[in-house]
Amino acid sequence: MQKKRSLIFLIICSLVVAMLGHLFFITEWFQDRYMVGPNDGLQQMVTFKKLLYEQYSTGNFFYSYQFGLGGGTYSQLAFYFSTSFMFMLTAAFVYLLQSVQLIGPADTLFWANAAVFVSIVRLAIIIVITTYVFRYMKCNWMPAFTGAAIYGLSAIYFRHVTYWEFFADAMLWVPLLVFAVEKIIREAQGGWFIVAVAVTLFNNFYFAYVNLIFILIYIMLRWKIQLVENETNRLRQLKMYFVSGILGLGISAISFVPAVYGYLNNHRPPYSQQVPLFNWDNILFNSRFVIIPALFLILLFVFSLYKNRTFRLFAALSIIFILLHFTPIVASAFNGFSAPQYRWEYLLSFTIGGCVAFGLKYIDEISKKKLTIASIIVTIAYLFTVFFDKNISITSYLSFAVLTMVLITIFLLFMFIWGKDRVRLILLYTGLLIIPIVFANVFQYGLSVPGKVDEVSKNHLRSEDYNGEEQRQIIQQIKDRDNNPFYRIDWKVGSFNNTPIVQNFNGMSVYGSILNKHLLYFYLYDLNIDMGRESVSRYATLGNRANLYSLLQGKYMIIEKDNNSPIPYGFNKIIESENYIVFQNNNILPFARTAKMLFSEQEMKHTSVLAREYAMLEGAIVPNKNNTAAIPKEQNIIDTATLETVNALYNDNKLSVTDDQGGIDIIADEIHPDTKDFYIRFHLENLAADQGFTLKVNDYKTTRKSNQSVYKTYDDNLTIRVSKADKVKIRLPKGDYILKVIALYQEDYSKLEQAKRQATETKKINWSDNRITITYNNQNNDNLMILPIPYEKGWEVKVNEETQAVKKVNYAFVGFPIEKGINHIQLDYYPPYFRTTLVITLISLILSVVSWWRARGTGTLSR
């Protein structure tokens, strides 16, 4: 009964601290402003929550046609929320509220509204778990709670939640892993290690990597610092770590394996920039990642505390991680040896919390002299930092606020040391809790105003800059006139590639860290499609190339009236509103197409992208097969064209633009009268060390990243489609460039129109969740069916009840053999290795339960 009352009291206290720690964003919520970042917060966090909740609440757990050009969300969104326990619990609660009609639709506005409340609950859980872990390690209640609160109320928590919410979930599992390790060391019990490893790996594979590196460091240091008598010997520990870890991995297999497959099936150019050894970051005043509490520093310099082994353990860990914070090499290592990312800093916040907890445990043993020495050292450190950091001033509000909190901390400690009675003890802990609460709210203000989080408001989420009323109405008009479930609309608001998910239509763009590599190769290399903006982790539009729109169900395009965007061939205006125009593609091809002529990727490798488009219109491009037809021909007329410089010098492939808008004019002398468009291809590199730029080709614009950008694709081969004109004008800002391998092709769209005439519409197509059924009468004796569904592992197909191999066709899409006559086709999608991992998970669960049951009588697991 006492334990139950203690737990209830702890939960209440944790919720109170969590709510007080969110006071700033709570007040913002009352003013319809949300705890959501203006970039990834809006583009990804609330957007993917909306998508996944709609899937999960209807029983569809695996695939979405709305995710870009289609994709396995269970695998590709495992980096975000698809396997997140916190999200699943939240989704279940939201579903319950919807079931009793207490709330309405769970759109992006709903998830933005809910963000601060989900964060409060998460933070309370973090504090409860961490407090219990410190208690298990023999810390008193109030020090344990204070240390847990300092961990939870850290800068990195609020930064993570606001900008990349799922990052904060990792903070739940760090104390659980430490508890599991201590269970093995102290009691030779491996059951909790199974649980900790399983939930860590299941929840998020990326942060499992980070957390397991941490726990490995913890174990190694723990072997050096013995905390209790009769600890389990190391050989036995290793056996238990191995066996329990394998069982935990096995339990998580159903989530972990598809998630890792999604990561490995992603494409991101290697990070080519040099990672520096050292980077200064002011962790006492204005770091974006971690602000060291003054209380921690004071305790760190009370050298008598090091007699306590647990304090020594957490102090050593903290010092190690503080030193590692200053080297971007470690930030790169924690990010899979890619670009340095400081996402791991919550580990330092945890060790600081532990150091504070076990330092405060012995607060009454600290003498006035020792506290005085520590206070002087810390004060000098702060003043030294202020005077030598040129980015802050001693007279600034920041300096005043930080130094005030330092002085208040010192005052509280001296107040208690001077009297050491119960009233002073209560005042001490109350004050020490208020300081991180105040800090948390001040940090939130820093995120909101300078970080522009305050721009994420109800008005913004209903504006034309995100999801406007006029935009929603025009989308609805398209839906009202076309009930085909497979067409796609080329439309996004500005650079928000996930607009289709927000506005609930099948689009042609997506932005996410894990995407289908076949699609990314398709865009970057195979078809060389310009997206209007160079960036990794996204794809969008089809570069106004009519052939591709017709092949990939791009039936509609929405543009803003004042945009003056070029319109692809074959698109006609059908709807007009005050600010937008809708165009319809009159050459759309069937969703299910068949082919007899096959072209091999290898033999198409040395052709132009226009020839590849022709091959896809006439038949299909497949890997590793001899061509069954002649390679389509296109005409490169660059040799008959004249190149003229404009405000530029051009020699030996080097272009020096001497004015703001200079470049080259390509004057075509022999243009076929039937030509509708030009395809202009060239290789372009910016020689500036750090300068992004806008490229213009006639009326087409696209932006290119700086050479220093971590989001640069390093694909400098461009293909731009423009309408037929006397001149093709390539325009660049002032600077030096490499411009070479220029080619100019004519397109009359005769092959597209022929494909449209010969197309046979397949009417019997049904798509429900992760299953597609098609009935097709193959009267032409074609041997392959192609669907505009991205190829990825997990698709299975049966044709007339016979299992067939799913093939990668047209570089990135699903194809499979068909028979002459009637074909009854069924395609199913399951996450990669789903059945195998399901069996592994079930077996591992059974073995874990059996091991636990056997260990009950002996007090051990995995002997």
| Average pLDDT value for residue range 552-568 | 93
Q: Coil, strand, or helix at residue 678?
A: strand
Q: Is residue 396 part of a domain?
A: yes
Helix/strand/coil (H/E/C) assignment for every residue in 832-849: CCHHHHHHHHHHHHHHHH
Same domain as 257, residue 393? yes
pLDDT at 617 over 80: yes
Same domain as 401, residue 441? yes
pLDDT for residue 857: 60
Residue type, position 231, single letter = E
Distance, in Å, from the CA atom of 334 to the CA atom of 327, rounded to the nearest integer, reads 12
Same domain as 574, residue 484? yes
| Tokens describing residue 133 | 């872990």
pLDDT for residue 417: 94
pLDDT for residue 609: 97
| Tokens describing residue 221 | 């240091």
| Tokens describing residue 540 | 């969008």
| Tokens describing residue 352 | 């600081």
Same domain as 579, residue 544? yes
Same domain as 772, residue 652? no
Provide the pLDDT confidence category of residue 862 given band limits of 50, 70 and 90: very low
Q: Is residue 308 part of a domain?
A: yes
Distance, in Å, from the CA atom of 169 to the CA atom of 157, rounded to the nearest integer, reads 9
Question: Of 448, 480, 497, which residue sits at a domain end?
Answer: 448
Q: Is residue 11 part of a domain?
A: yes
Selected residue with higher pLDDT from 626 and 719: 719
Distance, in Å, from the CA atom of 555 to the CA atom of 571, rounded to the nearest integer, reads 9
Distance, in Å, from the CA atom of 824 to the CA atom of 773, rounded to the nearest integer, reads 7
pLDDT at 534 over 90: yes
Same domain as 208, residue 86? yes
Q: If we measure between CA atoms, which residue out of 132, 53, 55, 62 comes closest to residue 93? A: 53
Same domain as 560, residue 509? yes
Residue 602 is inside which H or E element, if any?
helix 601-604
Q: Is residue 557 part of a domain?
A: yes
Q: Is residue 737 part of a domain?
A: yes
Cα pseudo-dihedral 362, 368, 369, 375, rounded to 10: 80
Question: Of 704, 723, 752, which residue sits at a domain end?
Answer: 752
Question: Of 752, 787, 815, which residue sits at a domain end?
Answer: 752
Lowest model confidence (mean pLDDT) among 61-75, 271-285, 504-518, 690-704:
271-285
Query: How far, in Å, are 280, 493, 552, 672 from residue 498 at the CA level?
Result: 36, 9, 18, 40
Q: Is residue 574 part of a domain?
A: yes
Same domain as 556, residue 487? yes
pLDDT for residue 863: 39
pLDDT for residue 336: 82
- Report the percent of the chain where pLDDT is more than 70: 99
Q: Coil, strand, or helix at residue 354?
A: helix
| Tokens describing residue 572 | 């006609």
pLDDT tens per residue across span 253-281: 999 999 999 999 999 888 878 888 899 99
Same domain as 767, residue 668? no
Helix/strand/coil (H/E/C) assignment for every residue in 92-121: HHHHHHHHCCCCCCCCHHHHHHHHHHHHHH
Helices (H), 279-367: 294-300, 309-325, 328-334, 346-360
Residue type, position 769, single letter = D
Provide the pLDDT confidence category of residue 628 given band limits of 50, 70 and 90: low
- Residues of the domain holding 556: 469-588
Arithmetic mean of pLDDT over the chain: 95
Same domain as 767, residue 727? no
Q: What is the CATH number of the domain that holds 735?
A: 2.60.120
Please give the order of strands across the beta sheet that includes 821-829: 764-768, 771-778, 821-829, 795-799, 802-804
Q: Is residue 602 part of a domain?
A: no
Contacts 24+ apart (CB under 8 A), 22-29: 22/116, 22/119, 22/120, 22/123, 22/440, 22/441, 22/444, 23/437, 23/441, 24/441, 24/444, 24/445, 24/448, 25/116, 25/119, 25/444, 25/448, 26/116, 28/116, 28/448, 28/454, 29/113, 29/116
User: Packing angle between helix 346-360 and helix 170-187, nearest 10 degrees?
Assistant: 50
Provide the pLDDT confidence category of residue 431 given band limits of 50, 70 and 90: very high
Q: If we measure between CA atoms, which residue out of 34, 123, 124, 111 comes closest to residue 80? A: 111
pLDDT at 860 over 80: no
| Tokens describing residue 63 | 């695939």
DSSP labels, 21-90: HTHHHHHHHHTTB-S--TTHIIIIIHHHHHHHHHHHHTT--SEETTSTT-EEHHHHTTTTTTT-HHHHHH
User: What is the biggest distance separating any 2 CA atoms in the chain, rounded to whole angstroms?
Assistant: 98
Q: Is residue 379 part of a domain?
A: yes
Same domain as 645, residue 583? no
pLDDT tens per residue across span 28-57: 999 999 999 999 999 999 999 999 999 999
Highest mean pLDDT among 199-203, 395-399, 689-693: 199-203
Distance, in Å, from the CA atom of 10 to the CA atom of 355, rounded to the nearest integer, reads 20
Tell me how many domains the chain contains. 4
Is residue 162 classed exposed, middle or buried when 0-12, 13-18 and 19+ CB atoms within 10 A define those classes?
Answer: buried
Residue type, position 262, single letter = G
Residue 573 is inside which H or E element, if any?
strand 571-576
Same domain as 403, residue 444? yes
